[in-house]
Amino acid sequence: MSDYNGWTNYATWRVNLEMVDGLDPREMGWRGLDTYDLGQAIKEWALDMLETDAREGLALDYARAFLSDVNWYEIASHMRDDYELDEDEDESADA
């Protein structure tokens, strides 16, 4: 495992910096997810964004390959810390 600016690797750092930073998991409907599931939700969201904005071809294939190197669990853990989320937090806590 390498280290890039405190992150697992360049892809994880860059995706967090440019795509995920500032996303509020509560506003995204990700409240109440454990860290693994939150990471998967972020990954799905990033892939959806990518595929919505890009057309099929070599560039999209390279972008998908780049996203496959991202440590989604690490990003989710960081997001949890930023928003002080508990893994057992109930979805209706703010309701």
Q: For the segment 19-66, what is each residue's pLDDT rounded down to a tens digit?
A: 999 999 989 999 889 999 999 999 999 999 998 887 889 989 999 999
For residue 68, give Cα distances in angstroms to 10, 12, 89, 91: 12, 10, 29, 29
Q: What confidence score (pLDDT) does residue 92 get?
A: 45
Where helices occur in 1-95 by DSSP H, the ranges are 10-15, 35-53, 58-67, 72-82
* DSSP reduced 3-state for 7: strand
pLDDT band, residue 11 (cuts 50/70/90)? very high
pLDDT band, residue 88 (cuts 50/70/90)? low
| Contact present, 75 and 20 (Cβ < 8 Å) | yes
